[in-house]
Amino acid sequence: MAGRNGRAAPADFPPPVDSQGEFIKRELDAEDELIEVGVAIVGGGTAGLACANRLLALLAEDPALLESLGEVPVAVIEKAKTCGGHNLSGAVMRPEPLERLFPDLSREDWRREGFAFGEVEKEAVYLTPTAKRSLKIPTPPPFKNHGNEVISVSALARYQQRIAEEAGAYILTETSATQLLVEDGEVKGVRSGDKGRGKDGEPLGNFEPGTDIKAKATVLAEGCWGHLTGPAIREFDLGRDREPQTWELGVKEVWKVPKALDRVIHTIGPWPVSTRAKYGQVGGTWIYPMKDEKTGDDLVSIGFVIDLEYADATTSAHDLLQTFKTHPLVRKILEGGERVSWGAKALPGGGYWSMPKLSMPGAVLAGDAGGMVDTVALKGVHHSINSGILAAEAIYKGLTDGSTDFTSYEDAIEESVTGKELWEVRNTRQPFSKGFFIGGPLVNLFIATKGKIPVRLPWHRQDEKPMFIGKTSKKYPEPDGKYIFDKLSSVFISGNATRDDAPNHIRVQKSVPREVAETWKWMCPAGVYEIPDDAPEEGDVDVIVNYTNCVQCGAITAKGGRLTTPEGGDGPLYQNT
Amino acid sequence: MKICVLVKEVPDAAVEKRIDSSTKRIDRSGEKNLNPFDTHAIEAAMQVKEGGVVEVEEVVAVTMGPESAFRALHKAVSLGADRSIHLTDEALAGSDCCATGHALAKVLETESPDLVLLGQQSDDGECYTMGAIVADHLKMPSLTQVIKMDVAEGKLTCERQAEYGYDTVEVDLPAVISVGDAINEPRYPSLKAIMGAKKKQLDTKSIGDVGIEADKVGSDGSRTTVLAINPPPEKAAGEIIEDEDTNETVEKIVAWLDERKLLA
Amino acid sequence: MSGILTYALHYEGEFNTNSLGAVSEGAKLAKEIGGDAAVAVVGGDDLTDDLCSSLGKYGASKVYRANAPEGLGAPVVDVMAKVIADEGYSYALFGGGLLGFEIGAGLTARLNAGVTMEVTEVKAQDGKLVAVRPILQDSAIVDVEYVSEPGIIIGRLNAFDVQESGDGSAEVVDVDIQLEEHSTKARMVKRGEQRGADVNIEDAELLVAGGRGLGSAEGFELCEALAEALGGAVAATRAVVDAGWYPYAAQIGQTGKTVAPKLYLAAGISGAIQHKVGMQSSENIVAINKDQNAPIFDFSDLGIVGDLNKILPKLTEAVKAKKG
């Protein structure tokens, strides 16, 4: 099916995947074949581990309940080589939930443990009208970060993992959860992924099948629309009466710099994105200082986030970050420095109206999986921690009562800082779909009125957006290997060591119109999708999928493909993102 | 038969390797993993145990390393070892090849193994053929670069890579065999095995427990010292030829190769 | 103690290049720090007087010959340990190679000595030897000194250049050796079996590597022809292996093999970093690519911007002609 008028929507070429058929298992294995745990937490990131940390703290005070949960009271299932390996965020975090999670730690302790890099003292927000100019504006309320802490979620997860292990959790790294176990309308646990399959899924000589992990309660904390969250939402109709979820893609670099940056910076555009409504580009950047206590190094976290709502197929978040670096404002900060990290990750952008119902019989959704991110202020980390804590408390109560009904969790979220903050900003992103100049003032209106205007602004599915081949790519700078980097060398420093003959975990239709193929090629920060040199200019192209480059950012799921569960242990090994 | 498998925890291949400039030793913080070559050694042990030709009472994983090295032992156990031994002691820090070999031999002596297996090299590339060092201390025959091992009562028939091709060597037990990665395809541990690893017996030993004298190990016991650490030499910029007359270009290339004695 | 004792491996009546390099290096270093440069050889009747004394051409003054099984490490450990104990050599030097590593390691234990492996250079400093070696995948170079004597130096494969010096004939001394009991426990059944099909690219000194620029699987025929002319092997990038143009055993790069041959000739390879890490330590890198901006030209020693379809066949002919 060729494009119409040079436009094609990825949604017209859905990936070959049967969400519920493949990812829901309706009959558990026999008792002696499966593993039984107390609580299974899928995802060893900020939210999942916060849940584990809080739950084990509660269980420590309740030996009877702890014992009743058996040998493995809490199991955390994490597909990366270590917790934190697949985690990436800006991040400037509101401190309160983490202080609540670890009341005995001071901010100094955070920095000594290596996951925090300094309290925000100065901040600045800039408009960047052109590639050369910047205009400092009075800091709008969402960007007021005084008192918050610059952290690395990748490093934080490693810390949380250690604490959870010391408290008795079994952290199963290099393990993916590929199926949700559902029996009698209730979530009974998850099934771990197979290991040792080849390129086309065929079992190799050392094939090891996965195992059913039966749990009294399951927490889906997979991050941005992980692999089981989608099927769960469909199975239990958790998306009913809600706006569809939308996504943003962030690409980040960490730099070691000769001169410390003294302030937290956000830029809200319009450059480097286009202001033309037709292009649909909404994006902004961050630049955060990081003081590494362990090495004494001055680091800078710099990133670019774009709403995946855009319509120009040549939009590339990675290349727009590289473009952004050419601005004098950035050069002043990074010049003379050295890039030490790179990574990419999608985040849920729909906000309050797109949040699914957060509980189902036997399970709850926590963190980004539940869409709890304020994308105006770029704040999601404290919500992840908060939701992890509340999930633990709801599950603790459920276990005590012998119940698998965790609806109390939903109310707890609503009444907590997460519910309140997300409610306030619930209409602040949607207007941008009308373009920067029309949307901008509307957004300001909603921010200024702190969400008091009673209206619900809709989202629509991003993969339904018709794509056209525009001119964004013409502004991308040429890589030089020192300041401006290409995708492949970036994937390399992410520590990506996916097995060469690992099974292909990316589902896309092989033959699609050029507009769709170009969308994937430019969008993917890891260069997974390639168009063969001899592909025709008109008509469909056969996309080459270099899936071993994949850093599992999740963006493809928003724009017409599906990132299915990769083999455990594959993907990047982020250290300080 | 008792098989001991020597394993080592090494930095994950993806982690950027750094030298701690104050101690001049490899910065060992950051992700660590079981040395990939050792997984082949464990697999080889398991294949002997499951092969049915000889009776193997137990497979014991042994490591010498800092506190965190217990993870390598858990991994070894999840792959099938029956129990493990962790030799750890501050006195061992800074041991060079000689000191390490001595310490490992001492701890193995306490186990009296019939067969010692290990990977032929470790990912951090410090000491190749540790097996040969350990074997001489134990007064056992050793073979390295082994890519095939057939076991019979009291002896092994091994194939190993050598300078001139492949050698077939018969080795009497007890012996120390260092295996290459071509020997087998290691299995993946099942989730049950991974979770059960914590429960298997793990004995932590200090140098006193196995009769190692402090002056034979650690920085004091090492026979080499690192004098300096330097970045690798800068490569001079290369020459570029634009091909116009291919005959001429090819002549230049051949001259260039000849100059460097590459056409011998 | 003084002097350097080097091990030389022989096979089918010849000492290999690696060993001759080590012998040359031993002679050179002995001159710098004083003492004899001697060689230890172990084997059977094929170690004739002529063959052994020919090591004098490379600077050896003495050759200790022992009649003991060949191709195994432990007997050589016994021989060298005895010679060092009897004659007082300060250093034991090996040209690396698979057996060299094994013997050197065994000697480390036997003599409770310091050992440095994968050595790329040896320096003489104040009458002592300092071994230089790369570590951490060639990202740093360390200088190592020995706290006691003897010190054991095991070179990287072919790290030392073969150099003729000396008058051409060394004194041959027969060593009467009583092997340790455990040195008799390994017995050679078959030595040096060739397995033609799998050329191990890690051991090849000359590699011709092909990438996407070859255009198709057939493009590899050009590489194979050139490799044959040069006497080397063929390697491939991840992309073409994925595309099925060449087998995985030849793959170089982050998830393939790492090589450091004397010559790495890259045809149609862009030089992306995942490939670069697999071959960047090659001594001489030659790149042929039609794109002048290809990153490989940033780190190649000789870069040719041109059409490999024109260049490779002519280069093959020219190489064949030169080698005669």
Euclidean distance between CA atoms A38 and A18, whole angstroms: 30
Contact list, C295 vs chain A (CB under 8 Å): 481
What was the pLDDT predicted at B24?
59
Tell me how close the Cα of A570 comes to any Cα of chain B, in angstroms. Answer: 11
- Work out the average pLDDT over B29-57: 91
Nearest to B170 among C103, C189, C322 (CB): C189
CATH 1.10.3720.10 is held by the domain C201-323: no
- How far B47 CA sits from the closest chain A CA (Å)? 13
Residue C127, classified by CB atoms within 10 Å of its CB into exposed (0-12), middle (13-18) or buried (19+), is exposed
Does the beta carbon of B244 lie under 8 angstroms from any beta carbon of chain A?
no
Considering only alpha carbons, which residue of chain B is nearest residue A191?
A: B191
Q: Kindly list the partner chains of chain A, i.e. chains with 3 or more CB atom pairs below 8 Å.
A: B, C
**pLDDT, position A376:** 80
Q: What is the pLDDT of residues C171-200, one digit of tens each?
A: 999 999 999 999 999 999 999 887 654 567
Residues of chain C numbered 25-44 and touching chain B (CB < 8 Å): none
Tens of pLDDT along A108-124?
999 999 999 999 999 99
Chain A residues touching residue C238 (CB < 8 angstroms)? 500
Residue A141 in 3-state DSSP? Answer: helix
C82 inside 8 A of chain A by CB: no
Looking at residue A4, the DSSP 8-state letter turns out to be B
Burial degree of A324 (CB within 10 A; 0-12, 13-18, 19+): buried
| 8 A C-beta contact, residue A352 and residue A422 | yes
Do B237 and B110 contact (CB within 8 A), yes or no? Answer: no
CB < 8 Å from C in window 487-506 of A? 488-489, 491-492, 497-501
- The reply to whether B166 touches chain C by the CB within 8 Å rule is yes
- Tell me the per-residue pLDDT of A150-191, one tens digit each, with 9 for 90 and over: 999 999 999 999 999 999 999 999 999 999 999 999 999 999
- DSSP bridge pairs for C153: C93, C116
What total of structural domains would you count in chain A?
1
Q: What is the pLDDT at residue C12? A: 86
**Contact status, residue C99 vs residue C73, Cβ threshold 8 Å:** yes
Whether residue B169 contacts residue B160, with contact meaning beta carbons closer than 8 Å, is answered with: yes
Spatial separation of the C-alpha atoms in residues C93 and A389, rounded to whole Å: 63
What proportion of chain A, given as a percentage, has pLDDT over 70?
98
How crowded is residue B253: how many other Cβ atoms within 10 Å of its Cβ? 22
Interface of C with A in 240-299 (CB under 8 A): 241-242, 248, 251, 254-256, 272-274, 277, 295, 298
Distance of CA A251 to the CA centre of its chain: 11
d(CA A566, CA A569): 9
Per-residue pLDDT tens digits for A383-408: 999 999 999 999 999 999 999 999 99
In a domain, B202, yes or no: yes
Q: What pLDDT score does A166 carry?
A: 94
Residue B131 lies in a domain: yes
CATH of the domain at A187: 3.50.50.60
Cβ–Cβ gap B163/C303 under 8 Å: no
Give domain status of residue B85, yes or no.
yes
How many interchain CB pairs under 8 A, A with C?
Answer: 27
ipTM associated with this complex: 0.88
pLDDT in tens, B78-94: 999 999 999 999 999 98
> Range(s) for CATH 3.40.50.620 in chain C?
4-184
Could you tell me if A60 and A66 are in contact, meaning their C-beta atoms sit under 8 angstroms apart? yes
Cα distances (angstroms) measured from residue C19 to each of A210, B103, B167, C94, C163: 51, 31, 19, 7, 11
Give the pLDDT band (50/70/90) at residue B20: low
Task: Name the residue with tokens 């005995």.
Answer: A104
Question: Best residue in B9, B10, B191, B198 to probe A by mutation, most A CBs within 10 Å?
Answer: B191
Is residue A465 assigned to a domain?
no
Among C271, C274, C268, which Cα is nearest to C310's? Answer: C268
> According to the model, what pLDDT value does residue C199 have?
61
Q: What is the CATH number of the domain that holds B103?
A: 3.40.50.620
Rounded to whole angstroms, the Cα distance separating B86 from B74 reads: 11
What pLDDT was estimated at residue C277?
74
Q: What is the pLDDT of residues A65-106, one digit of tens each?
A: 999 999 999 999 999 999 999 999 999 999 999 999 999 999
Pairing of strands B142-152, B155-162: antiparallel
| Distance in Å, alpha carbon of C65 to nearest chain B alpha carbon | 20
Subunits in contact with chain C (3 or more CB pairs closer than 8 Å)? A, B
Whether B195 sits inside 8 A of A81 (CB atoms) is no
Q: What pLDDT is attached to residue A377?
A: 83
d(Cα A35, Cα A213) in Å, to the nearest integer?
A: 5
Average pLDDT over residues B71-82: 95
B188 vs A206, A497, A575: nearest CB: A206
pLDDT at res. A501:
77
Tell me whether residues C251 and A500 touch, CB distance under 8 A.
yes
Determine the residue type at A566.
P
User: Who among B31, B185, B192 is closest to A82 (CB)?
Assistant: B31
User: Does B190 contact A at CB distance below 8 Å?
Assistant: yes
Domain annotation covers residue A555:
no
Contact at CB, C273 and A488, closer than 8 angstroms? yes
Residue of B nearest to A570 (CA): B14
% of chain C surpassing 70 pLDDT: 97
d(CA B190, CA B188): 6
Looking at the complex, report in whole angstroms how far the Cα of residue C263 sits from the nearest Cα belonging to chain A. Answer: 24
How does DSSP assign chain B, residue by residue?
A: -EEEEEE-EEE-TTSPP-EETTTTEE---S-EEE-HHHHHHHHHHHHHHHHSSS---EEEEEEE--GGGHHHHHHHHHTT-SEEEEE--GGGTT--HHHHHHHHHHHHHTT--SEEEEESS-TT-S-TTHHHHHHHHHT--EEEEEEEEEEETTEEEEEEEETTEEEEEEEESSEEEEEPTTS--PPPPPHHHHHHGGGS-EEEE-GGGGT--GGGSHHHH-SEEEEEEEPPPPPPPPEEEE-SSHHHHHHHHHHHHHHTT---
Burial class from Cβ neighbours inside 10 Å (0-12, 13-18, 19+) for residue B215 reads exposed
**C323, C233, C219: which is closest to C267 by C-alpha?**
C219
pLDDT at A547 over 60: yes
Of B126, B231, B243, the CB nearest to C140: B231
| A577 located within any domain | no
Output the CA torsion sign for A522, A528, A529, A530. positive
Residues B86 and B65 sit within 8 Å (Cβ to Cβ): yes
Say if residues A234 and A203 touch (Cβ distance below 8 Å).
no
Question: Which DSSP string do the residues of A352-364 spell out, in sequence order?
Answer: GGGPPP-EETTEE
Q: Say if residue B234's pLDDT is above 80.
A: no
**Confidence class of residue C283 from pLDDT cuts 50, 70 and 90?**
confident
Q: Which of C94, C185, C305 to mutate to test the interface with B (most CBs of B within 10 A)?
A: C185
C80 pLDDT above the threshold of 60 = yes
CA distance A298 to chain B (A): 17
pLDDT computed for residue A442 by the predictor: 74
Task: Enumerate residues 6+ apart whose C-beta is below 8 A from B86.
Answer: B63, B65, B69, B70, B73, B202, B203, B204, B205
Q: Does residue B246 sit within a domain?
A: no
Tell me, what DSSP letter sits at residue A236?
A: T
Spatial CB neighbours of A367, under 8 Å, sequence gap ≥ 6: A43, A45, A46, A47, A48, A221, A223, A380, A383, A384, A387, A388
The candidate with the shortest Cα–Cα distance to A308, out of A357, A271, A353, A344, is A344
DSSP H or E segment with residue A551: none
Nearest CA-CA distance, residue B71 and chain C, Å:
22
Q: Does B245 touch chain A (CB under 8 A)?
A: no
What phi and psi, each to the nearest 5 degrees, are found at residue C235?
A: -125, 170
Inter-chain touch B223–C112, beta carbons under 8 Å: yes
Q: How far is C273 from chain A (nearest CA, A)?
A: 6
Residue B243 lies in a domain: no
Query: Which residues span the domain enclosing A182?
Result: 20-195+208-424
Decide if A573 and B190 are in contact by the 8 Å CB cutoff: no
> Which three-class secondary structure state does DSSP give residue A29?
coil
DSSP for B4-48, written as a single string: EEEE-EEE-TTSPP-EETTTTEE---S-EEE-HHHHHHHHHHHHH
Q: What is the CA radius of gyration of chain A?
A: 22
C36, exposed or middle or buried, with CB in 10 Å at 0-12, 13-18, 19+? Answer: middle
Look at chain B and report how many structural domains it folds into.
1
Q: Is B194 on the interface with A (CB under 8 A)?
A: yes
Domain presence at residue B228 = no
C25: left (phi over 0), alpha (psi -120 to 50) or beta: alpha
Q: What is the distance between the alpha carbons of residues B139 and C110, in angstroms, rounded to a whole number?
A: 10
Tell me, what's the pLDDT at B23? 60
The mean per-residue pLDDT over the stretch C272-279 comes to 77
Bridge partners (DSSP) listed for residue B119: B179
Delimiting residues of CATH 3.40.50.1220 domain(s) in chain C: 201-323
Distance (Å) from the alpha carbon of B184 to chain A's nearest alpha carbon: 10
A489's tokens: 């060398």
Mean predicted confidence (pLDDT) in B12-24? 62
The CA-atom distances, in angstroms, between A10 and each of A71, A308, A471, A514, A515 are 47, 12, 19, 11, 9
Residue in B83, B37, B41, B34 with CA at minimum distance from that of residue B59 = B83
Give yes or no for a contact between B207 and B91, defined as CB atoms under 8 angstroms apart.
yes
User: Coil, strand or helix: which one is A446?
Assistant: helix
User: Which of the residue ranges A232-236, A430-434, A462-466 would you say has the lowest mean pLDDT?
Assistant: A430-434
Pick from A378, A317, A352: which is nearest to A245 by CA?
A: A352
Calculate Rg over the CA atoms of chain C.
22
Facing residues of C67 across strands?
C43
Q: CA–CA distance from A316 to each of A197, A287, A450, A508, A518 (Å)?
A: 32, 19, 32, 19, 10
Inter-chain touch A497–C254, beta carbons under 8 Å: yes
Domain extent, residue B100, equals 2-221
d(CA A189, CA B174) in angstroms, rounded, equals 48
**Count of beta carbons in the 10 Å neighbourhood of residue A404:** 19
Alpha carbon of B129: minimum distance to chain C alpha carbons (Å) = 6
Phi, psi of C40 (to 5 degrees): -110, 130
Rounded to 10 degrees, what is the CA torsion of B250, B256, B259, B263? -50
Determine, for residues A499 and C255 on separate chains, whether the beta-carbon distance falls below 8 Å: yes
Residue range B215-239: average pLDDT? 84
Domain C4-184 top-level CATH class: alpha beta
Q: Which ranges of A120-242 would DSSP assign to H, the alpha helix?
A: 153-166, 229-235
Is residue B14 within 8 angstroms of chain A, CB to CB?
A: yes
Q: Is C308 on the interface with B (CB under 8 A)?
A: no
